[in-house]
Structure 1
């Protein structure tokens, strides 16, 4: 089998800029000529084995950084943007998109941002009557989407916050993270009490009283304690991270700060090194990990998707949460599988069937149109309101990875991963899915021509050419 060549020009430039080195100095440290480095940075030549070794030996670089999923994410996001009907006559070839993502990632992100702004402008104009006469009726990027994209392109791993949470957990020792959180808050003169309230957490800065709901499950209470610890004791770190992100609005910055505090809470509850080792020992058994770390199934699944620390990476997982309408409310993928930025997930995916079997794990072998095969795990994570008549929030989560990691998953046991017919065909979004015979297709694929025969009706009212 021929070895696939590695083109990583953009990543090489990023590493060099991070080290504040000129091309001449960088080339000297890598042991290559200046023209050769220039050709590699412009993807005219692949990164050689000697350069990969030099990066590891000279700079201690985790060489897997050279082949991160950034390009695949950008290609997926560009394809979805180009599936917009306004581009119906201007869809570039997939090879061009991959070339852009590899050679000009900043341009690709700018295009995605431009399309997002267009969509928001279009939606705003659709309800112009609400904005007429208002001085603040200006077009803005959605703060929620801006924050979502921040975590998306950070690979859902925030190194400084993760390390800070791990250090906090290391100091907990016998008291556990709950005891450590209570002690940390007590040191700041904060009183914690359990109360029969609807909110998960209420903090009054004036009285320095933190109230947690007795209706919440113990893992949720611990999580909320740690979140409050993050907001109070890690404020400088959170603010520095937010400064680096350069959000466009105060709303986005405020949402991101809560997101970073949530990240700290999950990372403290499930410290990176200890959690990674436990995940490997249990073969990623979510229930055993949930019991060991006092976390919910959803918290464990989400944490597994963040184990992307350079030099100590876990299995690249995708993680998603959907509501009953199929709308994606949380999404992240460290795999080649990327989720639709707008709308719902593929209806053939087992995550939608999880609502039909509450309390049970569903397993699925799936194959995407690009031929990559995955093992996918789905389960409902419905959350009660804690009292009669309180609304129930119903969600389902999906967690999975490429099938080449199947031997490291307890959920792959007894599945015939070598049988091609065992894999169900799934996609990302109907508009960019290339499958011709999908019986669940909602709209035609943008890149294919259609044939319509009034004398013949199959599963669909048209045939995809």
Structure 2
């Protein structure tokens, strides 16, 4: 029986855009890919145009031929893209345009190119209430990270090779990075008094041949800053290649900064060793901190990058907020409960409650409206400028809360799921009030942006807002 004749899987999977992206990313013509997979060119063309679903046989052949993780395709059935479209239509500027959520999700499945274009346009055209984080260079960098699933294979492997070289000079990677800068690049690393660098944490002084670091940085942050500088020098070509898709000069520089930080994390927490430690400890984030000598935020960042083909880790998301709920960092390579940028997160998520218990890890099982469940951890972290209260007397000491998590179906691999019934009661949360349609939420502060409101002076429900979606 040919693959064309194979029965489609029980839940029809249309993933033409992902198959096409896989083909173009590998520089394959339709003729070559069809030959690799043992199908006709016309059949492959129909799949890429979403006129045929992916059969189980085709999926297995695709995964075996190109060493893919089936989850990358099975999870790519348009649900995540559909959720992004739903978020777009909560924009206050679109009030009065009633598009059922089912229609938006159908569009994501049938016309992923159009759906992706709408998502990209929305990311570059923020509502008046948003703050600019959804436009300009920041949005372009975020788009680059999302496009690559926050994993840059060539850069990560080059960083791992560099880490192997550094380990030859000793087990302390922080010290090895500093020595490499001195011996190979004639750059000394000097810790400067805070009064000398009152408004900077890191500065490269080429005249003095020094990388100058503020004394307000702790040891882990100093090592990370030195690794950033080493990556900018020795992994310059790989960083430039990873950022090549960005044309705007300012956005390109922002991408280089972000990718240098990515590379620094990959040097100090090399992929193979880090993934092995994650699996051996059950992703015990505090134990990973001790083992690699890194801060919680650095560990959390690295957890979101474990997407190497053939050696994938548990898919994590990361978010960082301040006390006002402003999101300053967000990484979500896969499904997540993170809201659209600029919209704020759900107050029922214990990410916000972390500020009431500084330094204590908080665990929570949450459930979205669509039934997706996530196991999350949250804890406060100090700003990198004053990580342990270092700094002049009376200076501002901002702090943030870090949230990380994964889908509940992956949570059995995590040590922090111990004793928790992953199928039991979960806290119902939403992507912020303007995008949430839970009518019975007593925490609701705003009605859904696209809902039909109803007012009745004779009735007072759980919230002041009565609404329907029809």
Q: For 2:423 and 2:125, how far apart are their aligned partners in 1?
A: 45
Shift of 1:423: 0.7
Shift of 1:115: 3.2
Instruction: Report matched runs for 1:361-400 at 5 Å.
Output: 361-383=361-383, 384=386, 386-387=390-391, 388-400=393-405
Q: For 2:164 and 2:322, how far apart are their aligned partners in 1?
A: 36
| CA separation of 1:6 and 1:71: change in aligned 2, threshold 3 A | closer
Q: Which of residues 157, 167, 171 in structure 1 aligns to 2:161? A: 167
| CA separation of 1:91 and 1:410: change in aligned 2, threshold 3 A | same
Q: Secondary structure at the match of 1:202?
A: strand
Q: For 1:163 and 1:277, how far apart are their aligned partners in 2?
A: 16
Per-residue Cα deviation, 1:205-264 (whole angstroms, up to 9, x for no partner): 222111222221111011001001011222222222222x224x3221111111011001
Instruction: Report matched runs for 1:353-432 at 5 Å.
Output: 353-383=353-383, 384=386, 386-387=390-391, 388-419=393-424, 422-432=425-435
Which residue of 1 is the match for residue 228 of structure 2? 227
Range 147-156 or range 306-315, more displaced: 147-156
Which residue of 1 is the match for residue 178 of structure 2? 182
Range 70-79 or range 323-332, more displaced: 70-79
Q: For 1:31 and 1:452, how far apart are their aligned partners in 2?
A: 61
Shift of 1:366: 0.8
Which residue of 2 is the match for residue 455 of structure 1? 458
Q: What RMSD, in angstroms, separates the aligned Cα atoms of the two structures? A: 2.4
Q: For 2:255 and 2:26, how far apart are their aligned partners in 1?
A: 27
Which residue of 2 is the match for residue 445 of structure 1? 448
Q: For 1:141 and 1:317, how far apart are their aligned partners in 2?
A: 25
Which residue of 2 is the match for residue 10 of structure 1? 17
Q: For 1:116 and 1:13, how far apart are their aligned partners in 2?
A: 23
Q: For 1:50 and 1:459, how far apart are their aligned partners in 2?
A: 50
Q: For 1:22 and 1:154, how far apart are their aligned partners in 2?
A: 21
Question: Contact between 2:232 and 2:260, CA under 8 Å: does it hold in 1?
Answer: yes
| CA separation of 1:381 and 1:179: change in aligned 2, threshold 3 A | same
Q: For 1:21 and 1:414, how far apart are their aligned partners in 2?
A: 48
Shift of 1:17: 2.3
Aligned positions, number: 445
| CA separation of 1:38 and 1:285: change in aligned 2, threshold 3 A | same
Name which structure has the greater RCO, CA cutoff 8 Å, separation 6+.
2
Q: For 1:123 and 1:409, how far apart are their aligned partners in 2?
A: 38
Whether 2:32 is the aligned partner of 1:25: answer: yes
Q: For 2:71 and 2:161, how far apart are their aligned partners in 1?
A: 25
Which residue of 2 is the match for residue 306 of structure 1? 305
Q: For 2:296 and 2:185, how far apart are their aligned partners in 1?
A: 31
Q: Which of residues 48, 51, 54 in structure 2 aligns to 1:44? A: 51
In proportion to residue count, which structure has more helix? Answer: 1
Shift of 1:321: 0.5
| CA separation of 1:69 and 1:200: change in aligned 2, threshold 3 A | farther
Structure 2 unaligned runs (5+)?
Answer: 1-8
Question: Contact between 2:18 and 2:76, CA under 8 Å: does it hold in 1?
Answer: no
Q: For 1:278 and 1:114, how far apart are their aligned partners in 2?
A: 40
Shift of 1:100: 3.4
Question: Contact between 1:77 and 1:341, CA under 8 Å: does it hold in 2?
Answer: no
Whether 2:35 is the aligned partner of 1:35: answer: no
